[in-house]
Amino acid sequence: MNESELDRYSRQLLLPNFDIQGQLNLAQAKVLVIGLGGLGNIAATYLATSGVGYLILADGDQLESSNLPRQVLYDESQIGLNKVDAAAKQIALKNQAVKVEVIAQKLSGDSLLNAVEQADVVLDCTDNFTARQAINRACLSLKKPLVSAAAIRWEGQLVSFLYHQHSAPCYECLYPSLSDQQLSCNESGIVAPVVGLLGVYQALEALKLASGCGKVKHGVLRLFDGFEGEWREMRLTQDPECLACS
């Protein structure tokens, strides 16, 4: 690390269980963020400013004005742009040392497998079940750690799967069947700080995985109720009929 980097990341380097080795691990890590909406824009921002060396940003959507209350990485001048291009520009302003690869399309099939294969950690920040199921199966087959989150109305949830260490349970054990309609913020609404909080939590889990510092629990579902201000936690078990991991 050079003098500028030592100064920039000095507050993280002060942590006795992180220090220089943790920062060096971050700089060498490659993190895939799938979905640059309410979750992904926040997670990508914190990963970039924390010093992750390489970010792969994947999203096929363009920025709309209705996104701005939740997607605070962007500004009004970027409405109509591809989210990945807008995000890459904003991240470059925050930390030029981070290499950013953009994929301006929705990942599926071979493109999804190729992107997941490149990454050390995968963040599922998508907003539909079809994509989440495909991401789960890709990470499971390639043994890549997956950090998945979702938020709707006043509620949010987060769960991490350490597929490089465990093969079960998986995301489909939790949700074997769910329609995209049930996951839609367009229909049900969302409180902006709730999705921001979950995006920050995803970044924290990814930072711990990428740096090798801190504890990440496999298959532990964390549920947040923003209206009541309460967290709950439950440990998942493998579904013996799961089509993905059984």
For the chain, list the strands marked E by DSSP: 30-34, 54-58, 99-103, 121-124, 146-152, 155-161, 220-225, 230-235
Classify strands 121-124 and 30-34 as parallel, antiparallel or unpaired.
parallel
Please report where in the chains the tokens 């003098």 appear, as a residue.
3
Cite the DSSP H helix spans in 28-82.
Answer: 38-50
Q: Is 242 one of the catalytic residues?
A: no
Rounded alpha-carbon distances, angstroms, from residue 110 to 82, 116, 121, 135, 136: 22, 10, 18, 12, 14
Rounded Cα gap, residues 136 and 122, in angstroms: 10
Catalytic residue among 170, 173, 185, 245: 185
Nearest one of 214, 220, 215, 218 to 233, comparing CA atoms: 220
143: which 2 tokens? 């043994």
- State how far the Cα of 137 lies from the Cα of 13, in Å rounded to an integer: 36
Active site members:
185
